Amino acid sequence: MQIHERVERFVARLFPEGHRPPAVLAVPGYDPDADAADVALAGYDYYSAGHHDDGKPWASEHPKRFLAAQIAVGTVDQALLGALKVKNAHMRTACLSRNLLVVDEVHASDAYMTEILAALLDAHRQAGGYALLMSATLGSVARRRWLDESGESGIADAIDVPYPAVSTRGDTIDAGENDQAKTVAMSSRPVMREPDAVAQFALDAARAGAKVLVVRNTVNYAVNTWQAVAERAGPFDKLGMNAPTRLHHGRYAAGDRRLLDARVEELLGKDSQPMVNGCVVVGTQTLEQSLDIDADLLITDLCPVDVLLQRIGRLHRHTRDNRPAGYDAPACIVLTPPGDDLSPLLDSGQDANGLGPHGYVYRNLHVLEATRRLIEKYDEWRIPEMNRRLVENATHPTALERITDELGDEWKNHGIDVEGSYFADKLTAEGNTIKREKSFYPEEDNEEICKGWDNEVKIRTRLGDDRVDIIFEPAPVSPFDGAAIERIAMTVRWLDGSGSVPESVETTDMDGGFEFGVGSRRFRYDRLGLRRA
């Protein structure tokens, strides 16, 4: 939402009134824009949004049309659907081919999404389109892949590549010095599983006037930490929408999520004001991308170094001369498992907090161990000067091989499992992408192209849990602003396995929220978000 609003402001500055192309919000489930009335489409009859009863621009009326907009802002999923064996894929890529495709945070793509994006970019470029991939933390292996460079660079050569830089196929241009350079004091605390200790760190800083951002790897850890903060805050905590504490994650209804985005920006945004008692914002990965927020202190779970650098990007993001005493220099506290030992995560998912093969969020323990060692080795991170060094020392194959050789057979077997999962996801993506080199003519070996694809097989842009929309009838009200909540997305994993979801469900009002049932399972929704009752 924030990026969409920024693009709209940019369009307003760039184009005179009356000649501004609409910037469509290409996110299913969010209300489309309705400010595109009476737009003249080049080469076609004059189009008036008045032709439609709801007054919404044609491109925003259905997700399959999003990419027909002159400017569309959304998740990468809408573009990736153009590379998959799904309905309307060719329409999506045809619409996209006339535009510049910009993909931000490209480092965040896993093996499955990377393969799909590569297929999309091949088709886009062959059709004459242009693409811009952006990342502050892309490693050399991924960088060489996107630039179609063969072979593998040594770790020293990878570190020596200019940063920041603009790279094309055949050239790398040094982008020059960054005027937002900062030196971050790094430290670790082995209290990842102790929400009370984390809450105390945050409250001590907040009571000194600091704006504190706490990023946990999973929703459960975020909720537990926020509850610990609220219990210890005393008069500091009001628990209302204007309170100096805030919880933010992905298990909120769309309307509430927009509201929380705005509230977090009010507390930590570029134009936010100093607070005598400070504030504490607790959340998950939803805080590390897209939101333009600025904290005085960052407390974060251990995560891969590229993700950690993204989170640090929310620390002292803007130049301010009114930061509280003791927090005028950026500092980051990284929460690690007990004893700073990741080995137990090889065998157990209990309290993994998203780490390791049983944690499912950040599975590669080699990268996590390399990141932990970097925090231990360098008590100050000079950003962006050290970005290449940090990323390569935690992601380059040579660096990871050193850790494997040092830590023994269990870690070696884990590396084999990670590599196997990588190739399995890659093969799954290859099977799901359109083979555009095949002809539509029936004499070719292209039965699936001519006869269509199996619509019973659900192909997704991301691997992971399926999600279903739960429709409420009648609609309950938001625990925040009293607005109607007509639906909410839920992971299929939470259901009872029957596979059936009713057309609509009734809710029961509870103190501060509501409850509802799906099959044999009960769920609650309140200020903590959606959870099992």
- What is the signed CA dihedral for 321, 238, 242, 253, rounded to 10 degrees? 120
Mean pLDDT of the chain: 87
Q: Is the pLDDT assigned to residue 56 strictly greater than 90? A: no
* pLDDT attached to residue 242: 44
Q: pLDDT grade, residue 406 (50/70/90)?
A: very high
Q: pLDDT grade, residue 121 (50/70/90)?
A: very high
Q: Which domains does the chain have, with CATH numbers?
A: 2-174 (no CATH), 182-395 (3.40.50.300), 467-532 (no CATH)
Q: Averaged over 4-31, what is the pLDDT?
A: 86
Q: pLDDT grade, residue 371 (50/70/90)?
A: very high
pLDDT tens sequence across 298-352: 999 999 999 999 999 999 999 888 899 999 999 999 999 999 899 999 987 778 9
Q: How many helices (H) and strands (E) does the chain have?
A: 15, 19
* pLDDT attached to residue 36: 42
pLDDT tens sequence across 125-176: 999 999 999 999 999 999 999 998 887 789 999 999 989 999 998 888 888 8
Q: Averaged over 166-194, what is the pLDDT?
A: 90
Q: Cβ contacts of residue 71 below 8 Å, gap of 6+?
A: 7, 11, 21, 22, 23, 24
- What is the signed CA dihedral for 14, 17, 20, 24, rounded to 10 degrees? 110
- By mean pLDDT, which of 64-78, 117-131, 416-430, 485-499 is the weakest? 485-499
